[in-house]
């Protein structure tokens, strides 16, 4: 999401859209994106289970998980570092220790933690990329599964071990499994950013095609009206 990244996206947008097999063009993107804001969000999130992941740009991760059936809400923020009260400007320096992170509130009777892990790894552009995802580079874009308890820790570690054992990738999975110490909610303007910013070349040329790529392969997981691949 850096300025240089956005400039590069303007030049490469047509290539990215083609390579990701995008079937929904920009005017339709905005229609679908606005549907993510339809309906009331739960007033009380305390009854939901939570999962916390970092994997590059949090705009992308937030919108992807908000399209998943069983997910009630996703909040963008920062985690993984020791700096108190991080801001977007401070974490972009790469010196705070924090990574762009999403906190997911989900109904465990409709979707399980292992299923969220499936989505997390399957939707990554390259789960072996160290300190970044796609065009975003730096420790602030590193991949982390944050766990709240021993069960989540074991599930995440087992998942990575099995994924490495498949031989699907030439390099080891880069995501680390770390305890969640504190999640810092990001500034208001970062929340639901994609919903109203499809004119941003990074959003239309990188984020949405990446989201669409997962949705295209797993339409059964996507809420009605939230699929950038089909427009439905």
Q: Number of helices (H) and strands (E), helices first, in the chain?
A: 8, 8
* Catalytic one of 1, 54, 57, 173: 57
Question: Are 157 and 190 spatial neighbours (Cβ–Cβ below 8 Å)?
Answer: no
Look up residue 194 and give its two tokens.
Answer: 């994609």
Helix locations, the chain, DSSP H = 3-19, 26-35, 58-66, 88-91, 113-122, 150-165, 201-202, 208-217
Question: At 75, which helix (H) or strand (E)?
Answer: strand 71-79
Look up residue 126 and give its two tokens.
Answer: 């390259």
Tell me if residue 57 is catalytic.
Answer: yes
Question: Are 212 and 198 spatial neighbours (Cβ–Cβ below 8 Å)?
Answer: no
Question: Are 206 and 15 spatial neighbours (Cβ–Cβ below 8 Å)?
Answer: no
Question: Are 206 and 78 spatial neighbours (Cβ–Cβ below 8 Å)?
Answer: no
Residue 63 three-state SS: helix
Look up residue 36 and give its two tokens.
Answer: 């993510």
- Which positions are catalytic? 57
């Amino acid at each position: 999401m850096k300025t240089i990244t956005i400039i590069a996206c303007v030049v490469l947008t047509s290539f990215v859209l083609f390579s990701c097999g995008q079937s929904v063009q920009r005017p339709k993107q905005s229609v679908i994106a606005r549907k993510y804001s339809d309906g009331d969000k739960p007033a009380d999130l305390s009854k939901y289970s939570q999962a916390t992941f970092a994997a590059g740009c949090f705009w992308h991760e937030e919108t992807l998980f908000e399209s998943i059936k069983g997910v009630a809400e996703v909040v963008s923020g920062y985690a993984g570092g020791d700096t108190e009260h991080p801001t977007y400007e401070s974490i972009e320096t790469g010196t705070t220790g924090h990574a762009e992170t999403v906190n997911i509130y989900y109904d465990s009777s409709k979707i399980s933690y292992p299923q969220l892990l499936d989505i997390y790894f399957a939707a990554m552009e390259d789960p072996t990329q160290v300190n970044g995802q796609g065009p975003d580079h730096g420790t602030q874009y590193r991949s982390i599964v944050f766990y709240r308890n021993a069960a989540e820790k074991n599930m995440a570690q087992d998942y990575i071990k099995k994924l490495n054992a498949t031989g699907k990738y030439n390099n080891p999975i880069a995501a680390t499994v770390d305890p969640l110490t504190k999640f810092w909610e990001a500034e208001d303007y970062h929340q639901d950013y994609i919903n109203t910013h499809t004119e941003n070349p990074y959003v239309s040329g990188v984020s949405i095609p990446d989201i669409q790529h997962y949705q295209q392969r797993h339409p059964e997981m996507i809420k009605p009206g939230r699929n950038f691949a089909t427009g439905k």
